[in-house]
Amino acid sequence: MTQTAIKSDQHFRVLIPEDRLQARIQELGQQIRAEYGDEPVTCIGVLKGSFMFMADLVRAIGGPVRCEFLGVSSYQGGTKTTGVVRITEDLTAPIESQHCIIVEDIIDTGLTMDFLVRTLKVRGPKSLKICTLLDKAANREIPLTADFVGFSIPDEFVVGYGLDLGEFYRNLPHIAVYTP
């Protein structure tokens, strides 16, 4: 990626504006809280992409919420998945006997989420569900359905609101489509 491309806006169009994102996250939060009642929920944000979504979602869920993060690397800077998933940062506490929700920015092929579910299940959570802001279901290589989905989107590369291209654009307040 060249500096020119990073500075230019011509390769982007807004797919989901900020107000729609925020409204949907409020709905997701209420849906999640209704499902667990007064029980504590452990939200496990997948870094780095979910950091903004996680921050807004846990506030929308309200009530007793623990926040944990799991660092995962699967793309190494490009726009195509490598299929190689690696944990770069682990949880800080056990999740045994806790209601857990994996909070992800996007599920694309499903390889990363499949790896995360298998990795976390063996730690004995009381329950383990998946919440993803974006779902590119058409691109799935591993059959996998999220329990809570913000938006289903077409098979296009998106940036913003935590999602990056070569580590840039995570700070956009909306979701935009990148066209090379």
- Which residues contribute to the site for ligand IMP (CB under 6 A)? 49, 74-75, 81, 104-113, 157-159, 163
- Closest approach of ligand IMP to the CB of residue 39, in Å: 27
For residue 99, the minimal CB distance to ligand IMP (Å) is 22
Question: Of the two residues 33 and 108, which places its CB atom closer to ligand IMP in the complex?
Answer: 108
Distance in Å, CB of 129 to ligand IMP, minimum: 17
Q: In angstroms, rounded to a whole number, what is the distance separating the alpha carbons of residues 141 and 123?
A: 25
The nearer residue to ligand IMP, 53 or 125, going by C-beta atoms, is: 53
Active-site amino acid positions:
108
> Closer CB to ligand IMP, residue 68 or residue 108?
108
DSSP 107-173: ESSSHHHHHHHHHHHTT--SEEEEEEEEE-GGG-SS----SEEEEE--S--EEBTTB-BTTBSTT-S
In 3D space, the residue among 2, 65, 78 whose CA is nearest the CA of residue 32 turns out to be: 65
Backbone φ/ψ region at 135: left (φ over 0), alpha (ψ -120 to 50), beta? beta
